[in-house]
């Protein structure tokens, strides 16, 4: 099913926010009671977005609580592997006119996404599969598609990824790892998020500054 005009409009709005934020915290959360204070820590640190991975039983309720408490936060579901999980995430994707960014790591998977009318995808697992050189190689034939690398992204390699003009934003878990969430170290999460935001501000937007990576 091809993307509808409403999905395209929603995609544009979301991508505009992601291009501004440039980082998406990838969250693994066990206890839904931690969801709202976690969201507050991210927002206070300067990141009003999060990907809640459906790797835990509490993910669905955590996502619901964040959406209820912080409706302006850009919160999405990650690691959605089955139709049932998609339904739980209110993520029926194209059929229900909700934006979706599928994970890809090969040209064949990029072609599949393009066949559905999708022009933004998650590149996963970014570092284990070959990192930025591999992403540049497989993305070369596809002029219109944009990527959100996730998997092995950290403060050391983040600037290089963000310097590539086809990268919208990067997903990472270093500012809010699962053990910090489980032990309720929300002040530490806020502080690490602030550092990540400060780092991003130092990275020129590709194509808008001399020396940016093409």
10-residue mean pLDDT series, the chain (214 residues): 67 91 97 98 98 94 95 92 71 70 94 90 97 97 95 97 97 98 98 98 72 38
Q: Give the count of beta carbons closer than 10 Å to the beta carbon of residue 18.
A: 20
Which residues fall within 8 angstroms of residue 51, CB to CB, at 6 or more apart? 24, 25, 26, 27, 75, 76, 77, 78, 171
Rounded CA gap, 58 and 162, in Å? 31
pTM of the model: 0.88
Look-up of token digits 């998650």: 122
Which residues fall within 8 angstroms of residue 33, CB to CB, at 6 or more apart? none
- Domains plus CATH for the chain? 5-201 (3.20.20.70)
Rounded CA gap, 51 and 63, in Å? 9
Catalytic residue among 51, 95, 202, 208: 51
pLDDT at position 206 is: 74
pLDDT at position 207 is: 61
Catalytic site residue 51? yes
Helices 107-115 and 131-139: crossing angle in degrees, nearest 10, is 50
Catalytic residue among 122, 136, 166, 194: 122
pLDDT at position 65 is: 96
pLDDT at position 41 is: 98
Written as six digits, the tokens of 63 are 């996502």
Which residues fall within 8 angstroms of residue 116, CB to CB, at 6 or more apart? 1, 2, 3, 94
Catalytic site residue 116? no
The answer to whether 170 and 150 have CB atoms below 8 angstroms apart is yes
The answer to whether 151 and 124 have CB atoms below 8 angstroms apart is yes
């Amino acid at each position: 099913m091809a993307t509808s005009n409403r999905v395209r409009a929603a995609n544009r709005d979301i991508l505009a926010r992601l291009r501004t934020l440039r980082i998406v915290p990838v969250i693994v959360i066990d206890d839904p009671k931690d969801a709202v204070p976690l969201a507050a820590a991210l927002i206070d640190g300067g990141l009003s977005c999060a990907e809640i991975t459906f790797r835990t039983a509490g993910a669905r309720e955590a996502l619901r609580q964040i959406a209820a408490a912080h409706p302006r936060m850009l919160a999405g579901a990650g690691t959605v592997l089955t139709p049932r999980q998609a339904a739980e995430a209110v993520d029926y994707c194209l059929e229900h006119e909700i934006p979706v960014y599928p994970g890809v790591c090969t040209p064949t998977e990029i072609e599949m996404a393009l066949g559905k009318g999708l022009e933004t995808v998650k590149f996963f697992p970014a570092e284990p599969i070959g990192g930025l050189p591999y992403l540049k190689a497989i993305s070369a034939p596809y002029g219109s598609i944009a990527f959100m690398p996730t998997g092995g992204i950290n403060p050391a390699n983040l600037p290089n990824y963000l310097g590539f003009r086809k990268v919208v934003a990067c997903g990472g878990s270093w500012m809010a790892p699962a053990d910090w969430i489980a032990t309720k170290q929300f002040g530490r999460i806020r502080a690490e998020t602030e550092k990540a935001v400060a780092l991003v501000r130092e990275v020129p937007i590709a194509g808008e500054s001399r020396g940016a990576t093409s």
